[in-house]
Structure 1
Amino acid sequence: MLFQTSDDDLYAALVARDAAYDGRAFVGVTSTGIFCRLTCPARKPKRENCRFYRTVAACLTAGFRPCKRCHPLTAAAEADAVIRDCLAALAEREDHRWSEDDIVAMGYDPSTVRRAFKRHFGMTFLEMARLDRLRRGFTVLNDGGRVIDAQLEAGFLSPSAFRDAISRLIGEAPGRLPADPILCVDWIETPLGAMIAVADNRALHLLEFADRKALPGELKRLRTAGRGSLGIGRTPVHDLVATELAAFFAGRSARFATPLALHGSAFACTVWQELRRIAPGETRSYSDVARAIGRPEAVRAVARANGANQIALIVPCHRVVGADGGLTGYGGGLWRKQKLIEIEAAFACGDKTACQ
């Protein structure tokens, strides 16, 4: 277990540039204000100037800025050759039906690939490839195409397999979805993976990463609230949030003006509004949020409300970290939480009201 390791042992690993600790521990150098990977090629700092942290978020929270030599803000997944090669192959062969035989043909052991993807993304490579195919079918349906055309575009050989895949995501088979829904479900691509957005003509009701395990249950609750009027479609609200997400990931703006429809108790809505007051580039603990809303004893309730948030990024539950600065649970995956905090570090010296 890494942090049963003493700081002296971590310093020894830093001096040795021990690759076993890469991405698992970071060093903040008090004399320079910079934090690095333990494998950084730069000249090693004195022991008394070193502070060791488990996460990038903890380094940023402590006030250190990233090293320009070892680039500690690069997501661990991007530095993993197995993941990098598999993602490149997926991008090059969009229409391919991937199998473990293909992974072997690339020179990798399927179990190694499976573990790497589960560790970084919470899903296997084959599950990711299947989700990408489903996205293509989803796009055809959104454009008014026939179910059979969507099935073929998605590369599903069986109509029943395609219907089942859509049903697991939305809760209804594609042929049973309303043609003119009140709540419209659409797919938005981002650098951190596909997101599902649900909106009507006035507000955004849900924004989640498509691989989030809680998504089918959240969509079911929205379908119940809308008396079944939830289907595939796009509204001006989808266009607005897609534009704002593109600006966010491009580093141009962390301001979101998309109108929101928050579905939760009065307490949960109070927590979510408080989350929107946390400026990009900053983090808070659950205790901090509880005190900010005047309920210092309600730390666990704050944590539950944080986990129940169904409008990712815009209601920035990723800015809530553990009391020690470490990353805590995030429905979209801890790798995404780390990446979002890294992206927002660039906004830290800009507009502090960007997400209010």
Structure 2
Amino acid sequence: MVKFIGLDLGTSTLKVSTDNMAKLFKIPSIIGDVNEGWTGMAMDKSWINNLILEQGGREYFVGELARTQSEIKRPIASEGKMKSAEEAFIAIKSALSLVAEDGDEYILCAGVPVATPQGEMKELSRLLKGDHEIKIRNDATSEKKDLSVSAKKCLVIPEPYGTYYKTLKDRGEESAIDAVMIDIGHGSTDFLSMYQGHPMRTASGSLNEAVDTLTSRIAKKLQDQTGRIIRPFDLMKSIELGRDDVMLGGERFSIKEVKEYYAEQIARIMVDETERLISTLPPDAYVELYICCGGGAYTFGEFIRNALAEMKMIANPEECVIPEDPVMSNAMGFELVAQSRIE
């Protein structure tokens, strides 16, 4: 039986949805060189956190293992685009090993950042389609798996489209509507404008302002306040969990006021960019929905909704949608797209 798999290749994580959205997971979108020094010492023996892929005669640490153990590591996507089709292929093959069984056939739909060149998207689609041998090893247990799988069909499209497709399905829409997706990631924010059901590249784009912009500004304020060196990345977990204070050297510091201040300012920059992009749409375009997704939607979503209202870009709050699970919504939507491609 054919499986349907949706993937969202983001700047911080690679998200996967399968089994009618019952099986959802994510891994850091990083690959790295093998560092054997700590092999077998991890307490966590799970495959997802100890994943090594053999590809082209060499091995790669993938995901969490690459993030924590590789001395040389490479992000799969940054600055609003996929860096390399070949390295994205390595990460996706590794992710597939976590859901595939030997002999599986599947239809795959993968989303990549909006600024990814068309040539790289076509190359990734070419690499993913067809028969594959996947060889993986668990760094903690040394267990190995060899899988033979086959991708019958493969689509590679701009990642916010997954959320657009799922939102329309959830709302019971029978026809396409004009909409703008604002996909707020760790290192960039993607904008995808949909006109008469088609992505409009001239009205889509990417901004560097994203979640790490917020953590950088909070870190600078805390550093000025405490005199301590604070890495923005160390604040990411607190932001993701919605915390209003952090512990530094055993002392608690409130970040509520500075977080809300900068989140509002960054959200206004995002909405200004949205207004600029939609001004390039055809005159008959009528944007009915603005949809915020990505991990940053939890932090920036309400501020974006307020800014859209203040700029009279929406008439009521329901015109700015935040999915129930904005982190996984693209991957879930891409699984639905894959299902629609069955003959």
Question: Structure 2-normalised TM-score?
Answer: 0.24
Q: Which has the higher contact order (CA 8 A, sep 6+)?
A: 2
Q: Which has the higher helix share?
A: 1
Question: Structure 1-normalised TM-score?
Answer: 0.23
Structure with larger Rg: 1
